[in-house]
Amino acid sequence: MKKILFILAVLMPFVCDAAQKAKKEEPVVHLTDEQIYTELKKLASVFEIARDKFVEEADERKMLEGAMNGMLAALDPHSSYLSADDFKEFNDKSHGEFGGLGIQITSDKGAIRVISPIDDTPAAKAGIEAGDYITHIDGEQVFDMSLNQAVKKMKGKPGTTVKLTIVHDGNEPKVMTLKRAIIKVKSVKFSEKSDAAAMDDDKLPKIGYLRVSDFGATTTKELNEALKDLEKKKVAGYVLDLRNNPGGYLTAAIEMSDAFLDGGEIVSTRGKEKADIERMFAKPGDLINGKPVVVLINHGSASASEIVAGALQDNGRAIVMGSQSFGKGSVQQQKPLGDGSAIHITIARYYTPSGRSIQNEGITPDIEVLQSKVETLEKKESLFTEATFNNSLKNDASSKKDKSKKKDSKKTNKSDDDEEEDYLSLTDEEKDARDYQLQRAMDMVRALSKFGKKNLEKVEEEKSSETKSDDKKSSEKAKTK
């Protein structure tokens, strides 16, 4: 049975994808008003027959909501009908607190796929990853289940449990039991980081680290507070970590991009009509005064994350590192229907400043850095150097301490058992050291800050020499007079 479910989970997206592509190639044939009226009469007839003839007592509200959901789901994976309860839950979630597992999902060709787990939530702690397929919720198959139905089944009273069947990277299905919790989303976490391999080296510049888990109503405020704090600490540059960030409010993405830009276009949205184009621009004032920025993305970075990465990339304001992003380049809007319910519908595509559509393509990093595990093959202190000679001359200016050498030797002599230590029990510094993408991003920020500092010193030196030259010429002219 498990093997059958596994084959279904793997093959179904490809079969549906082929069918979807074939369908997309067919031109849209619009109905006349008379034909639309005839089809609506047919829909009413289907409703009446189903209600009267179904073997059990039919729930009319459920039937009608299902019809509306099916109608919108036929457009794209992100359009849906929101009942009054769904709409309220959506707004509660957007304002920073909601109940459930802390997992962002999407409909993927009839299946439910994880866009990203949210940091520090039951889903993230259980090891669910971006790209995983959910095949069952509490033993019930989710194929062709609407997103709202799937979300409702995963939500529940805090402290209760739910079983998810997960397919990860083509492996056999795995059943996970997760405990529901109140999800309090703090969008922005920040810290001042240094090289994890040289914690005692005061000469290395400190890096401002900004981890943004999603784009909610409080994200801009949290970002401004974080930048204010880190700027006081005089960090050399910033790593903006948007990995596994599923997106959120468009306005929050625009405001975040604006914080790092001194001008230029951020994003444009283009609707159904050719004239339906809206462009958003950055206001003057870079909150970090031109310091270098590296943006980290991966396949779990979607929507609003891609807007920020694309805006900073196209404006030449940041280097984007990591792996190809998710590729959700569409904008959704809630249209209330007057009775507490609403429609969540795709109204436009968004484009980066250079005119690139991200839909189905994603953001391509300037420097591809895939998450890797690095094995140390050489000791920091080489086995054979000038210093190994018994009678070699000492370096009086050396600031290295025996204590730091001992630390290095301990690090290089780690056993295989240490490498298998539970990741969740590690300190933040140890986690940083294992995060290959983060380490490479920090290296890049240091290099850029050093390069920028040298250029700045060169410019100031040239200005100073020009000033001295002008003063000398003025003095000579005065003497001649």
pLDDT digits (tens, 9 = 90+) for 103-117: 888 877 667 888 888
Instruction: Point out the catalytic residue in the list 93, 187, 328, 449.
Output: 328
Among candidates 214, 223, 218, 236, which has minimal Cα distance to 190? 223
Sole residue written with tokens 């492996």: 171
Q: Which residue has the higher pLDDT, 373 or 245?
A: 245
189 a catalytic residue: no
- pTM > 0.75: no
pLDDT at 411: 45
The residue-averaged pLDDT of 180-190 equals: 85
Instruction: Point out the catalytic residue in the list 119, 258, 314, 432.
Output: 314
Nearest-angstrom CA–CA distance, 280 and 292:
23
Q: How far is CA 473 from CA 144, 384, 479, in A?
A: 82, 58, 10
Q: Residue 463's beta-bridge partner residues?
A: none
pLDDT at 408: 46
Cβ neighbors of 263 (< 8 A, separation 6 or more) are 281, 282, 283, 284
Taking a C-beta distance cutoff of 8 angstroms, is the pair 422, 216 a contact? no
303 a catalytic residue: yes
Nearest-angstrom CA–CA distance, 481 and 478:
5
Residue 227: pLDDT band (50, 70, 90) is very high
The 10 Å CB-count burial string (b at 16+, else e) for 447-462 is ebbeeeeeeeeeeeee
Q: Which residue has the higher pLDDT, 379 or 16?
A: 379
Cβ neighbors of 55 (< 8 A, separation 6 or more) are none
Among candidates 104, 70, 77, 72, which has minimal Cα distance to 16? 77
314 a catalytic residue: yes
Taking a C-beta distance cutoff of 8 angstroms, is the pair 163, 142 a contact? no
Instruction: Reply yes or no on whether the pLDDT at 62 is more than 50.
Output: yes
Residue 477: pLDDT band (50, 70, 90) is low
Helix (H) or strand (E) holding 304: helix 304-314
Dihedral (CA of 281, 287, 290, 295) sign: negative
Choice among 18-22, 24-28, 50-54, 59-63 with the minimum mean pLDDT: 18-22
pLDDT at 95: 59
Instruction: Point out the catalytic residue in the list 80, 83, 257, 303.
Output: 303
pLDDT at 189: 92
